[in-house]
Chain A
Amino acid sequence: MSQYTIMVDLERCIGCKSCEAACKLENGVPMGRYRTKVMWVNPQGGNKLYFVSMPCMHCANPACKESCPVGAITKRPGDGIVLLDKERCIGCRYCSWACPYGAMGFDENNMVADKCTYCAHRLAREEQPACVTKCPGHALSFGRKDELLARASSEGRKQRDINIGKAGPSTFYLERLKP
């Protein structure tokens, strides 16, 4: 399997939240709910303000998948995208609690979980995820993880370690050039 991923460049992200808006329009996510969210991290102790765009991490070992009592969450062979079957979902929210990245949303109208799919329906049409195509900062890149890692490394960029436990997140972050 060659994992799909989004590479998020913390130096390029300008905090505009265009990714949030793109995701909402493409996936019909209403006000108050998110499949991707931009966190503003305040300047502190001489470190500058920065922004973290947080879609699903599509982990190697998804805690959401492990926590699901009915098998509604699967990791797709071939590209490693973590998908939720809403018909199977019973709305127990264990996945929301299990996810160490707070990436699992909840659809209160249908009482089921709700999550980022890397816009799987667009990928099937050979289009990139909505958030990536619209990003004004050129901060989001989509592709196969090995290729994006190689690109980051050729540009001399450091990766930020966000692995928590054994999750093995696929979405990855390039560290700021200067904090």
Chain B
Amino acid sequence: MDGTKLTRRSFLKATGATVAMAGVASSVAGASGAEQAKTHRPYTEGGIAPVSDKVVTSGCMWCQSGCSMKVHVQGGRIVNIYGNPDDPVTEGRLCPKGQNNVNVLYNKYRLKAPLKRIGARGTSESYQEISWEQALTEIAEKLKTVKEKYGPEAFAWWVAGRSESQARAGLTGTFEKLYGTPHREGTGPFCNFAGSSASNSILGHNNPPWTYTRDDFGGADWYMLVGSNMAATKVVTFGMVNDERIKRKAKLIVVDPRMSETGSRADVWLPVKPSTDMALALSMMYHIVEKNLQNNDFINSKVLGFDKLKAFLLEKKYTPEWAEKVSGIPAKTIRELAEEYAKTEKAIIMGNAGLSHHTNGHHTHRAFFMLAAITGHYGKPSMGYASGNAGATPVGSISVPAEKEVKPKRQRLGKSPVAWVEPMITGKPYPIKAFMSCCNPLVQWGDHERVVKALDNLEVSVYYNMYPSVETLYFDYILPVSPWAESGGLGPVSDERRNVFTPQIINPLHQAKPERWIFIELGKKMGWGDVFKDEYKDPVVLQRAMSKKNGFSPERFFAKKDGALRGPLPTPDAPEIGTLYTEKNGVPGKKGQFPRPSGKIEIWTEELEKAYKVQGLSPLPEFYADPEVGMKDGLPYLEYLDDDTSEGVTSQLIGKMRALRVKIKQPAGPELSGFDMYLTTGKPSAAHFGDGTHWVGTLQEQMPDQYCLIHPEKAMELGIQNGDTVKVMGVKGEFTAKAWLYEGIRKDTVFVPNSYSHKQPYSQWKSINSIVNKDKRCPISDQTNYKGLVCKVSRA
């Protein structure tokens, strides 16, 4: 080998003179870029992206960043996507997912035609192509039969997904009301409904105070990101914040069991023990009230329940020393952070799924809201606490004539779609027999065998999406969906309340159809053609009809250079508002600076006390960890007094629906042995979002495998080397992943990213959610306990 190399290099030397001469000739020929294009072959076999004949302003379909985009079209084909320099949030920047929307469309794996299952579940051989007419006729007939046999509450619809927000907002609620089911839900209970429900409970509204602009979110002097890998989940925004941090020497603290991409930029990285973040908020508050550092003026005029909170913190002795023992964050650091935060006016704390994916998600968020409230961090730009992905602002819908609306007679069974599984299997407390989904229950929900069993018990199941994910081997009907540029509509709402209007740019490919078209045709077959009008198949017409009473009209979208509108826009001419919860703005369309009944921030009131007590909890955030962590370490955890087959109680906090009662158990000591590590999870990198990105080769190659971050010392102890396939065994089962030896993680914790599955085209991994216990959920928000599990790791 070496000999060959040497010979070739010698040859190079020998020919050096010739090279130099040829070089002169060539560079003369290519003196300018324009000439290059004429005289040289294109730079690759694919060729450079052709100069577009049309550039269309559009929005990205993926995440809650709501980026405006410039879509380049040539000859009716989308050839490239750039950022939109006229977008004040993105400043023309785009993450890998946004750009790869091109490859989402022109993708060989797309679902191409409607399919019907005619054989056993679990294999693609059981499916045959059918026409749209046959598919929708049969689905409508089965939905009608289910309604007659079991009542309208027996139909459940998971309307979440990465497709399109206009059809979801505008039409699925209409369908729900005409059918009469209470069971329609989005992604909230899998993302950050813990955060939005906490925000509602204390500020009176779900949205964060800030906008992702330099003068608001970008303008703080002190940031603490808790359980938020913004660099991967809100890429462009974190890029801006990081830029501001460097320019203005702002301080960044990142609280996360692993040094994420975000943590790698931090001045202080705090590797907290999974599921114990609440202890950080509680002990920071303890130190603040002990040292009298709270903002009394703000509290006196704008906060209810501070005295109760103070007494509670002192009584429970949530000291920094206690928090150090529970969370692993040094008491000294907690004191310093508390003092810095209390004294810095422009200070932002943000939480995200790292807090929400726990049984204590709601109360952890509440504790951080309280921390921001008692230090006066609301009312101006560049301050506050909030959770990312905290939900939409109303964009309107097609109204249902009052005489046609069917009111459900039975109470909705839980907030999370996961709560539907047991009623599907057992028929208790009443049966659910029909299920439509555009998301991935067989990847995202825990206990996958149980979910398959639930599908077996249904009279009809329908999956509609873009790619042949694992669900396409189990559902009865598979419908191919046309995403964003084929469909037109609205991009998903951003954290900071923006939707971008997405025009239809190209015709649907294959036999795929926009969701809007599917819902209208299905609605017509249900006999509701007078409500589901054909004209609504045009996204502009539908948008106009949806915006009769609000400000999200097509004309207002088109008048904006970024195609984006920021809610709430409660009236047609309501102005777009920046920072929320200011004395001037409050929340448009709602009463008071903080739209709680009192108009103030409500930490504790008698009404709240009653509302939480129904489920066995208090508005004051008593500490408990996730069940597996609690059992392993002897920390308090939840015992569930009801389960998904129970009548339970009616939630007084998140809408009238069945909620579960719990009790905080104080174990005498550890109750679970044999597991020496914690498992935490999150997004693999900026490349991925749910199942969908794994079908796009140029995204998949950016983070191709389900990896397992493990500390090198722990790996050495276990005989694991970098790149080894390791087995991660939890209480509910096991999966494998590729070891990535990484010093930036707690020695007692492994991180394995979510969203991989065994039915993806480029790499196949059993989903980590296969070891998630679907029954362990936050009793208030109903969020699943994805993070904060225990495990042991070995070489596979």
Contacts and interface: CB of A to CB of B under 8 A. Distances in A.
Contact of B743 (A44, A123, A137): A44
A70 B12 CA distance: 10
B44 A42 contact: no
B242 A137 contact: yes
Interface in A3-44: 11-12, 14-18, 20-22, 24-32, 42-44
B142 interface: no
A87 B41 contact: yes
A28 B22 CA distance: 28
B23 A12 contact: no
Interface in B75-103: 80-83, 92-96, 99-100, 102
B231 A107 contact: no
A158 interface: no
Taking residues whose C-beta sits less than 8 angstroms from the other chain, chain B's interface range is 35 or more
A162 interface: no
A20 B294 CA distance: 47
Given A14-B239, A71-B26, A124-B37, A134 B45 contact: no
Contact of A31 (B49, B686, B701): B701
B36 interface: yes
Interface in B40-87: 40-49, 51, 80-83
A70 B26 CA distance: 11
Contacts of A178: 267
A103 interface: no
Given A26-B48, A136-B235, A16 B96 contact: yes
B11 to A, nearest CB: 7
Contact of B259 (A43, A110, A177): A43
Interface residues of A, number: 69
A137 to B, nearest CB: 4
A72 B110 CA distance: 40
A22 to B, nearest CB: 6
Contact of A69 (B11, B30, B243): B11
Contacts of B92: 133-134
Interface in B502-558: none
Interface in B287-321: none
A134 B8 contact: no
Contacts of A147: none
A159 interface: no
Contact of B47 (A28, A117, A123): A28
A175 B471 CA distance: 47
B236 A136 contact: yes
Given A48-B744, A136-B94, A71 B43 contact: no
Interface stretch (A52-60, A74-82, A165-173): A74-82
A146 interface: no
A98 B693 CA distance: 36
Given A71-B23, A72-B26, A86-B40, A135 B239 contact: yes
B44 A114 contact: yes
A78 B35 CA distance: 14
B656 interface: no
Given A69-B12, A114-B44, A137-B243, A83 B30 contact: yes
Nearest to B14: A69
A42 B32 CA distance: 41
A68 B19 contact: yes
A27 B45 contact: no
Interface string B21-40: 11101110011111011001
B8 to A, nearest CB: 6
B8 A77 contact: no
B685 interface: yes
Given A25-B81, A26-B48, A134-B83, A32 B701 contact: yes
Contacts of A18: 93-96, 99, 235, 686
Contacts of A65: 19, 23
Contact of A71 (B21, B93, B232): B21
Interface centre among B5, B26, B51, B235 (most CB of A within 10 A): B26
A28 B242 contact: no
- Which among A16, A49, A177 has the greatest number of chain B C-beta atoms within 10 A? A16
Contact of B96 (A12, A21, A48, A69): A21
A57 B15 CA distance: 24
Nearest to B269: A48
Contacts of B31: 76-78
B704 to A, nearest CB: 10
Given A14-B265, A87-B40, A120-B36, A25 B49 contact: yes
Contacts of A77: 27, 31
A144 to B, nearest CB: 16
B246 A177 contact: yes
A101 interface: no
Contacts of B37: 121, 124
From A17, A44, A117, A136, residue with most partner B Cβ within 10 Å = A136
A88 B53 CA distance: 31
Contacts of B34: 124
Contacts of A99: none
A134 B259 contact: no
Contacts of B49: 25-28
A134 B30 contact: no
Interface string A107-119: 1011000100100
B18 A71 contact: yes
A133 B82 contact: yes
A74 B743 CA distance: 43
B603 interface: no
A124 B264 CA distance: 37
B735 interface: no
A36 to B, nearest CB: 13
B761 to A, nearest CB: 12
Interface in A82-104: 83, 85-88, 94, 97-98
A16 B235 contact: yes
A19 B30 CA distance: 26
A42 B30 CA distance: 41
B232 A16 contact: yes
Interface in A124-142: 124-125, 130, 133-139
Contact of B93 (A15, A107, A136): A136
A15 B686 contact: yes
Given A69-B15, A121-B43, A15 B685 contact: yes
B765 interface: no
A65 B21 CA distance: 11
A74 B26 contact: yes
Given A29-B46, A94-B12, A110-B45, A15 B99 contact: no
Given A17-B685, A17-B687, A69 B19 contact: yes
B240 A138 contact: yes
Nearest to A123: B33
B211 to A, nearest CB: 17
Contacts of B741: 42
A54 to B, nearest CB: 14
B16 interface: yes
A136 B238 contact: yes
Interface string B370-406: 0000000000000000000000000000000000000
A76 B29 CA distance: 10
Contacts of B5: 97
B235 A21 contact: no
Nearest to A138: B243
Nearest to B247: A155
B742 interface: yes
B21 A14 contact: no
Interface of A: 11-12, 14-18, 20-22, 24-32, 42-45, 48-51, 65-78, 83, 85-88, 94, 97-98, 107, 109-110, 114, 117, 120-121, 123-125, 130, 133-139, 177-178
Given A21-B96, A133-B83, 6 more contacts: A18-B235, A25-B102, A28-B42, A75-B23, A137-B239, A137-B243
8 contacts: A25-B80, A27-B43, A49-B744, A67-B12, A71-B18, A88-B22, A107-B45, A124-B33
The 4 closest A-B pairs by CB, nearest first: A71-B22, A28-B46, A124-B33, A136-B239
